[in-house]
Chain A
Amino acid sequence: MRAWLQHHGLSFTQTLGRLARSPFATGLNVLAIGVALALPFGVYCVLGNLESLSRNVSVDPQLSIFLSKDASKADIAAVEVRLKGAEGVRAVRFVSREAALVELSRAAGMDEVIASLRQNPLPDAFVVTLSVSDPALADRLERDFKALPKVAHVQADSAWVKRLDALFRLGRTAVMVLSGLLGLALVAVTFNTIRLQILTQRDEIELCRLIGATHAYIRRPFFYLGSLLGLFGGLAALAFVLASLAVLNRDLVQLTVLYGSDLRLRFPNAGEMAVTLGSSVALGWLGASLSVSRHLR
């Protein structure tokens, strides 16, 4: 047991020494692994930020109901009654076409456009706020309201949230695919590095076999090498991502000051960093294991 521990310590320090003795090759390997890992991890972080950002935007489930131009006061009142009576509706607000025009003209740069109009092109409308954010409910009400007399068009204002959600799902899938591919790249890099190392140390390996080294003894330093490459590569990836986020944040601060908001990219938390490091070590170990079983019989 003590001999076993002694050898573990020895292989570990020897492997570290070996890495330190060829700093350039080690640096390039670590860089390759770091970049390969930084890509999916960075995309993951940015995606996480965008998602939490989109959640902050208040998305009261709303439906806008536009009436046809020929709707009379009585028609409007009838529609209002039906809207208020519908199940799942919290509030109904009437926006007359005149009010809508005034609101529109307040938006920057629109006055001239509106002044040039000979008549008000806007319809009367209702804005209906739903009591719960339930896509199924919104869909059902949208269909119901469309069927009301004198209703020209119903628009679900939460539709873009759904689209955004679908986009994020796509993004998450992309991160998974990217992680898978670049994880493979990491395995390939360690596999090849360890193949080279085995070739370089062929004499020593052969000699160790002749003087009674066990199979485990001979393989051990290579497992350490793979895991250490993974660890350093993972640390490099974290450094890349954190540095990029810091730079982005600096620019973002300038941007958000102009818009009077306080928007900041969140840094990955300890758990996420640990998972990244852990998987990077595991992939390095895997590459070493494949290489050793292939090149050291």
Chain B
Amino acid sequence: MDIISLRQVSKRYPGGFEALKVVSFAVEPGEMLFLTGHSGAGKTTLLKLIAAIERPNGGTVLVNGQNVSAMRPAAIPYLRRNLGLVFQGQKLLYDRSVFDNVMLPLIVTGQPYREAARRARAALDKVGLLPREKANPVTLSGGEQQRLCVARAVVNRPAILLADEPTASLDAAYTDEIMEMFSAFNQVGVTVLIATHDRQLIGKWRKRVLTLDHGKLQ
């Protein structure tokens, strides 16, 4: 069964802008793929539909067999616990330490503190930030902040990782670093969907590519 499946999905924003026009595709479990297209092509909108941040105006979005487009609001948090999200514009909390930022998804889902702390440290270790666990995210470099976002996205061991321009603000060395991480998660069975407009990156990694052009899938 497909882990993500979009059928005839359209999204029109208030004001009439059509972000997606009748988009259909499916992703198999354990797949890693790119979503690309020019700026404003609808990449972010598509990710938002999968994470139930936005609702489609037409068609159905299925994640893990659940119809996200018709989901009760009360069920959405439980869907999101199965998703790791790396956002554009980072959304780190600067009033707490690196460690506490990674703890947040575990606290939100009610993990026992001791177990949560162990997993948070493991995730920080995986992205090479364990020595900085007590630091404030403000003091981290751009690449480190992005790695922190990745750690926070995977700490809950989600089945699906959605990343929106995860390398946009990074130089080549950091970009490779982040991509290696995504690849490593993919190898342990996580489905990874990366939205990026970086053609070089896509060329390097020989994965399936979905290309959006003015809201239509090419």
Contact for A212 among B80, B87, B93, CB less than 8 A: B80
Distance in Å: Cβ of A13 to nearest Cβ of chain B: 12
Q: Are A204 and B93 in contact (CB under 8 A)?
A: yes
Interface residue stretch chosen among A2-10, A39-47, A78-86, A283-291: A2-10
Q: Which of B104-112, B140-148, B186-194 contacts A (4 or more CB under 8 A)?
A: B104-112
Asked whether A203 lies within 8 Å of B91 as measured between CB atoms, the reply is yes
- With A203-B91, A210-B51 as given contacts, are A2 and B112 in contact (CB-CB < 8 Å)? yes
User: CB-defined interface of B77-115 with A at 8 Å, one 1/0 digit per residue?
Assistant: 111110101010001010100000000110111111100
A residues in contact with B80, CB < 8 Å? 209-212
Question: B172 interface residue, CB < 8 Å from A?
Answer: no
How far, in whole Å, are A208 and B109 apart by their CA atoms in the complex? 10
Name the A residues within 8 Å of B51 (CB-CB): 210
Question: In the bound complex, what is the Cα–Cα distance between A206 and B91 (angstroms)?
Answer: 9
A267 within 8 Å of B by Cβ? no
Count of A interface residues, CB-CB < 8 Å: 19
A211 to B105, CA, bound (A): 6
Contacts of A10 in B (CB 8 A): 107
Most buried by B among A7, A207, A209: A207
Bound-state Cα–Cα, A7 to B108, Å: 8
Cβ-defined contact, A215 with B78, below 8 A? no
Identity of the chain A residue whose Cβ is nearest the Cβ of B106 in the assembled complex: A211
| Complex CA–CA separation, A6 to B117 (angstroms) | 14
B85 touches A211 (CB 8 A): yes
Minimal Cβ-Cβ distance residue in A for B83: A212
B173 within 8 A of A: no
Q: Considering the complex, give the chain A residue whose CB is closest to the CB of B87.
A: A210
Chain B residues within CB distance 8 Å of chain A: 51, 53, 73-74, 77-81, 83, 85, 87, 91, 93, 95, 104-105, 107-113, 152, 156
- Among all A-B residue pairs, the 5 with the closest Cβ atoms: A3-B110, A212-B81, A212-B80, A213-B108, A211-B105
Contacts from A to B (Cβ < 8 Å): 2-4, 6-7, 10, 203-204, 206-215, 217
